[in-house]
């Protein structure tokens, strides 16, 4: 091989190595951090069960209608608009009080609250027909009533604007006597019951216009 040509090739190789060595390095791109986006949802407050409670034993029913059955017009805005009779059984050991909420999740825009009643004594096994619309009750003794979605004390019967709606009578057995005054709203009662629910039971009736 021609010595001059060999020298030229070596010089070219050295030049290329020098150029590569001086080429600026591209900065590493920032790592993308994946974050799960949890959409914010507006939920109704729910009561937290008390430790050791049994949520499967408590039962509630009505002699006026069966679970998933039709509520007689007598207990609606189309009739006498009085509260239906309710009975319950199998309260868990340690029950100090009961509370009950009746609401309609099928109402337009928001769940409509029909009844809020609490501080029902543990000795009670139900509520009579036509509970008085007063803040405090003589029967059952010591029970208090809160405000419904009409902002009135006591029971307000089904009055759906159209179609068939479901009405849930939710009974709660509590492990404490609530420190609460009359006139609570559903949200306030649920907050007061947090951590004190031993058992829950539910009766659902339907009404259609």
Q: List pLDDT tens digits, range 7-48.
A: 445 454 554 444 444 444 444 443 333 233 333 333 554 545
Q: What is the mean pLDDT of residues 182-208?
A: 98
Model pTM score: 0.76
Mean of the per-residue pLDDT values of the chain: 83
| Tokens, residue 56 | 């499967």
**Residue 166: what pLDDT?**
98
Q: Which is it for strands 69-70 and 97-104: parallel, antiparallel or unpaired?
A: unpaired
**Banded pLDDT at 162 (limits 50, 70, 90):** confident
pLDDT exceeds 50 at position 194: yes
Residues 6+ apart with CB under 8 A from 90: 57, 58, 59
**Residue 43: what pLDDT?**
53
CATH number for the domain whose boundaries are 59-208:
3.90.280.10
**Banded pLDDT at 170 (limits 50, 70, 90):** very high
pLDDT tens column, 58-93 = 999 999 999 999 999 999 999 999 999 999 999 999
| Whether the Cβ atoms of residue 130 and residue 82 lie closer than 8 Å to each other | yes
């Amino acid at each position: 091989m021609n010595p001059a040509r060999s020298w030229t090739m070596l010089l070219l190789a050295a030049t290329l190595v020098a150029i590569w060595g001086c080429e600026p390095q591209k900065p590493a791109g920032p790592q993308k951090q994946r974050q799960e986006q949890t959409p914010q949802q507006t939920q109704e407050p729910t009561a937290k069960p008390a430790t050791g409670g049994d949520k499967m034993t408590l039962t509630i029913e009505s002699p006026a209608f069966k679970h998933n059955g039709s509520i007689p017009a007598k207990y609606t805005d189309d009739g006498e608009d009085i509260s239906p009779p309710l009975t319950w059984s199998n309260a868990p050991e340690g029950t100090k009080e009961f509370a009950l909420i009746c609401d309609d999740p099928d109402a337009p825009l928001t769940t409509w609250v029909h009844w809020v009643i609490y501080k029902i004594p543990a000795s009670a096994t139900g509520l009579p027909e036509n509970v008085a619309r007063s803040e405090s009750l003589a029967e059952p003794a010591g029970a208090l009533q809160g405000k419904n979605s009409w902002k009135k004390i006591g029971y307000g019967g089904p009055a759906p604007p159209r179609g068939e709606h479901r009405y849930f009578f939710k009974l709660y057995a509590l492990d404490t006597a609530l420190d609460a005054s009359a006139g609570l709203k559903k949200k306030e009662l649920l907050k007061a019951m947090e951590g004190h629910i031993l058992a829950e039971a539910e009766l659902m009736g339907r009404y259609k216009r």
